[in-house]
Structure 1
Amino acid sequence: MDVLFVLGIATGITTALFGFGGGFVTVPLLYVLLSQDGSNAMHSAVATSTCVMIFSALMASWRHHRHGSLPWQTVRPLVLPLAIGAALGALLSAQLDAALLRHLFIGYLVLTLADNLLRKGFLQPQQATLQPLSASANAVAGSVIGVIAALLGVGGSVMTVPLMRRRGASMTTATALANPLTLPVAVAGGAVYLLLPAVTTTSAGQVGLVHVPAALTLMLGAWLGIRLAAPLIGRIPDAVHAHAYLALLTMVLLVMVML
């Protein structure tokens, strides 16, 4: 559990500074730790990560709100589509083979990195101010992000941050937005995961597909990590922030490939 607590601290730091919510940090290690308890390790890792994101995204959203970096008018139209998509994604995730789920996680990381590196708009925004999405775009984008985020347990940051960057947001604003936009995904997806029966024999402390002791330890670490990272919110130069975001995704990809 000591390892999980340290991982929770890393989750809190990356949630506050990069809007990750914890998914891309927690899923790989949870996959390793929970694989000792049965063949549903990937399902349990995704489900547990999704529930942890409820806590970490809520805390980080409050920190960004206090800092004044959250444009709530951008958040509200996406909440319902994200929640609906997340519920569907969680249901779909439970039906997929664990090996396929792991490969989808890796494939999504590869596509995200390639898109952000090769297509203009992420490293250097093409617009000076954040441009709002249309009502139809909010519905489509929110639903798709919700499905993928809950399916893979990643929270949506790796879709919402590039989306907001290409709409003209700074990295501070884009990563701040990722946290409240993760909440409907985590709540809807987490509820489904808690109610679903385990894919195989459950381990001690597991409710549905969620490993509760692991989730609680991660939440405690995340609380500390968010407090440690709070003084840095809004103080990282935009270009450094964007490159660091991609560097972290690359590290997670390498870890997941080597598992």
Structure 2
Amino acid sequence: MDLVVLTGIGLLTGVTTVVFGFGGGFAAVPVVVWADAALGADAMRVATATSALVMVVNAGFATAVTPRRTLLALRGTRALVLLLAVGAVAGALATRLAPAGLARAAFVAYVSVTVVDLLLRPGFLRPRAPVEKAEADPRPLPAVLGAPVGAVAAFLGVGGSVMTVPAMRRAGHPMRVATALANPLTLAIAVPAAAVSLSGAAVPAAAGAHVRLVGLVDPGAAAALLLGALPVIAVLRRHPPRIPDRVYAWAYVGLLGTVAAAMVLSP
């Protein structure tokens, strides 16, 4: 049953990767916490690590099939990408060292605060300029955001899209571009985070719970999630849904709220 559920959630991660730029992290973390609940408090560590591996594949595939003209908006962001990667290493290492329950509490708190921020602060649901005008001259994402975004994203296993999409939206990009650009930026975070997560010893509880881990990663859960996600990404990149920009922004906020609730309700 776990395999069926994980593959079904994988379908959802495929949708969120293409439509919202999440790379699968936000959907993957709560479901892996549920699937590996036998690990107790360590389930969150395993979930964030497994999420990083899933995001490497999902975000990498989504980036590879994104039109080049869209990716050109990331020109001049080498410093940002480098700092995202540096921050991701620090965040992934912190996952190993921090108390087991801290990442879970931080996940719920951060997503909840983000939802409130998107609802109340102008610039996301209510762009300061018409989308068409802003799209013609978008402001670049500040490189200084790279290290903290990378660290928080890797620590929580979310890939950074919850920070980069709102930032790019407020910088002038429409939702369809902001979410597409989130995938290559997620890749910059997920690759070093996954490398750190795959190295080192598994959590001690894994043997007693009969969960096979590689480092902190549950490869079985990752494979099931990817089995569902990759075909969906391939289809939606060829036939992207046409969503009005304002509806798109509200759907993004609604999905964040749903994920926070799922994490609170998971075992």
Task: State the TM-score, normalizing by the size of structure 2.
Answer: 0.90
Q: What letter matches 1:195 in structure 2?
A: S
Number of aligned residue pairs: give it.
254
Aligned to 1:253: 260
- Do 1:13 and 1:228's aligned partners in 2 also have CA atoms closer than 8 Å? no
Aligned to 2:66: 64
Aligned to 2:171: 167
Residue 132, structure 1, aligned to residue 136, structure 2: no
- Measured against aligned partners, the alpha-carbon deviations of 1:148-179 in whole angstroms (never above 9, x if no partner) come to 00000000000000000111010011001100
- Do 1:161 and 1:178's aligned partners in 2 also have CA atoms closer than 8 Å? yes
Tell me the CA shift for residue 98 of structure 1.
2.1
Find the partner of 1:10 among 6, 12, 18.
12
Tell me the CA shift for residue 74 of structure 1.
5.4
Moved over 4 A (4+): none
Distance (Å, rounded) in 2 between the aligned partners of 1:172 and 1:118: 22
Aligned to 2:215: 208
Distance (Å, rounded) in 1 between the aligned partners of 2:78 and 2:192: 16
Aligned to 1:45: 47
- Do 2:41 and 2:101's aligned partners in 1 also have CA atoms closer than 8 Å? no
The answer for unaligned runs of 5 or more in structure 2 is: none
- Residue range with higher mean Cα deviation, 97-106 or 30-39: 30-39
Aligned to 1:145: 149
Aligned to 2:199: 195
Aligned to 2:227: 220
Distance (Å, rounded) in 2 between the aligned partners of 1:117 and 1:220: 34
The answer for unaligned runs of 5 or more in structure 1 is: none
Distance 1:116 1:39, change over 3 A: closer
Residue 179, structure 1, aligned to residue 179, structure 2: no
Q: What letter matches 1:115 in structure 2?
A: D
- Measured against aligned partners, the alpha-carbon deviations of 1:96-118 in whole angstroms (never above 9, x if no partner) come to 22222111000001111011111
- Do 2:138 and 2:171's aligned partners in 1 also have CA atoms closer than 8 Å? yes
- Do 1:19 and 1:177's aligned partners in 2 also have CA atoms closer than 8 Å? yes
Q: What letter matches 2:138 in structure 1?
A: L
Aligned to 2:249: 242
Distance (Å, rounded) in 2 between the aligned partners of 1:192 and 1:170: 34
Q: What letter matches 1:235 in structure 2?
A: R
Distance (Å, rounded) in 2 between the aligned partners of 1:76 and 1:65: 19
Superposed CA RMSD = 1.6
Distance (Å, rounded) in 1 between the aligned partners of 2:171 and 2:202: 40
Distance 1:90 1:254, change over 3 A: same
SS in 1 for 2:66: helix
Aligned to 2:34: 32
Aligned to 2:115: 113
SS in 2 for 1:40: helix
